[in-house]
Each structure stands twice: as structure tokens, then as C-alpha cells.
Amino acid sequence: MPPGFRVEQHGPRQLRVTTLHGLVFGTFSDQTPAIEDFIGPEVLARFNRILGGRKIEIIGRFVEVLPNNWKMYAENARDSYHASLLHLFFATFKINRLSQGGGLVVSANGGCSVSETIAPTQSDDTAYAGMRSVDDEYMLRDPRLIDVVDEHPDRVRHQIVTVFPNFVLQKTQNAMALRFFTPDGVDRTNLEWIYFGYADDTPEMRQRRLRHLNLGGPAGFVSMEDGCVGGFVERGIATAESEAAIVEMGGAGIESQATRATEAAVRGFWSLWRRMTGI
């Protein structure tokens, strides 16, 4: 190189990075606020629920290829009412239904959210009335797959935390995972799963987490539908390019709601997307 060449003048763009409970977040923008302010206090509290004061250990990871645009999966992660409609395993084995308690929290900027499902008590088990169950023809050979230990005193069984644009922190039963997704073309997305446990897990709890991991991922009893439904939706949309429809599930705003029957988090994602892209 010529004598006047300076590496610092020709390096790649520098990321601003910060950490939150050991997770590293980055942005190219000089205007992005501190991560705590970007996420917002209510969503941050759900981060703290899972990660606060705990040392984690990675117990599994893999990459799944989705046949759809990455923004379709961003919607999927924020759609808080599809779980009991799309995922038959949830309904069959009494894990998730919209009549259960729970709700949706959306950050002030619209881009971050939390969907929570509360397990009913024995005295309030009407959430599953009329559903398929293990008492009927569908049974598990190993019922330990849905054997849950309540690690927190809140009965939250299913929690999905999203951070704009492409990050998810989830806890389903006793399985915990990070998800992030990146485009690999206009109609192809790489979805990376990173499963983790706590460093102080007992051997029994670690085995329980590993069993519950079978609910997620490309062949998971729950998540396998998410791996293909984005492609189904995009192919369906392509057949009706001249058509338009609006479904105002839960209204038209992006406010937090005491129900999961809402698209407030999806609308929140697109509202922040439009502001950031100037559309």
C-alpha cells in the first residue's frame, strides 16, 4: 500500500455495541437511544424476569431456513393470537388458548413487545373446555415433554419478547431460547435458534429443558408450522396482487392490551419501520 495508507480510514463501518444481561446488541445509527430506553421499561422487565441476575449457558443451537421474506417472520413473532390457531400441539395438550389469561405489552416506540400466556389454576380450567386433550385419542408416549416446573411465581407459561427489528427472547414451558433472523434474499430468511439454560440448573432441570426444546425449531412439535406458514402466506398474497384487505384485530392502535387477540405489536413493528425508512 502507499505510504500514506491508514487502516483506520478504510475499515468497515463501525457498530455501536452495548450489552444487556450478557447479550450484545449493535446498531449502525448514531441516533439510536440507549438499549434500555429503546426497549422501554415494561418490556425490559420481562428481560429481567428471564435473565436478570442469572448466568446462562448455551445448550443447543442451529439455523433454520425459511421460504419467505424476513419481515414476514417479524410479524409471526409479534402475532400474539395465532398460537392456539396454528399450533395444534398447543391446543391438543392444553398448553395455550386465547381464553387463558395473559396479554400484550408494546413499547412506546412500537418496535418491542411481549406476549404472555398465563396458566389457568385448577379452579379456573375452563380455558380448555371442549378441547382435545390427553384424555382423548391423542396421547404422548412420554408426558414429561409437557411436565412444567414453575420457575417464577407468576404462572407465565409462554413468553415471547421481541426487540426491533429481528430479535426474539422466548420462554416456553421450561425451554428458553434466543432467536434472530436475517435476510438471505427477498424470499429467504435464515433463522438462528440459540437454546440456553441457567448455569446453576440441577441435572434434572437441564434434562427437562432439553426435552422441552423439542417443542421449538424446524421439526418442533410447535414451531414447525412457523417454518412453512410464511411461505404459504406469501404465495397466497401473490395470487391476489390487485386486492387489498385490512383486519383491525384489537383495534387500530399500538397500545398494550390485556388480551392476546390483537395485532397491536404487528402494527407497532410497521409503524416504527415506516418512521425509520421514511415511508
pTM to 2 decimals? 0.89
Ranges of residues in the chain with a pLDDT under 50 are: 133-134
Domains: count for the chain: 1
Residue 52 lies in a domain: yes
What's residue 190's pLDDT?
A: 97
Nearest CA to 93 among 151, 129, 139? 139
Report the distance separating Cα 98 and Cα 82, nearest Å.
9
d(CA 87, CA 188): 22
Alpha helices in the chain, H assignment, sequence order: 35-39, 41-51, 70-78, 83-86, 88-92, 203-212, 226-238, 264-277
Residue 172, domain member (yes or no): yes
Length of the chain: 279
Q: Which domain holds residue 72?
A: 41-126+154-277
Burial class of residue 203 in the structure, from the number of CB atoms within 10 Å of its CB (0-12 exposed, 13-18 middle, 19+ buried): exposed
Domain membership of residue 17 (yes or no) is no
Measured distance CA(209)–CA(197) in Å, rounded: 7
CA distance 25 to 61: 19
pLDDT in tens, 207-254: 999 999 998 888 888 888 999 999 999 999 999 988 988 889 999 999
* Distance set, CA 227 to CA 2, 116, 192, 261 (Å): 51, 21, 12, 22
Does residue 137 fall inside a structural domain? no
User: What was the pLDDT predicted at 134?
Assistant: 45
**Gap between the Cα atoms of 78 and 225, Å rounded:** 15
CATH of the domain at 113: 3.90.380.10
What integer pLDDT is reported at residue 10 of this predicted model?
86
With cell 417464577, the residue in question is 152
User: Measured between alpha carbons, how far is 1 from 248 in angstroms, rounded to an integer?
Assistant: 60
**228 falls within a domain:** yes
Phi-psi region of 129 (alpha: psi -120 to 50; beta: other; left: phi over 0): beta
85 within domain boundaries: yes
20 in any annotated domain: no
- What's the farthest any 2 CA atoms get from each other in the chain? 79
Tally Cβ neighbours within 10 Å of residue 147: 12
Is 111 part of a structural domain of the chain?
A: yes
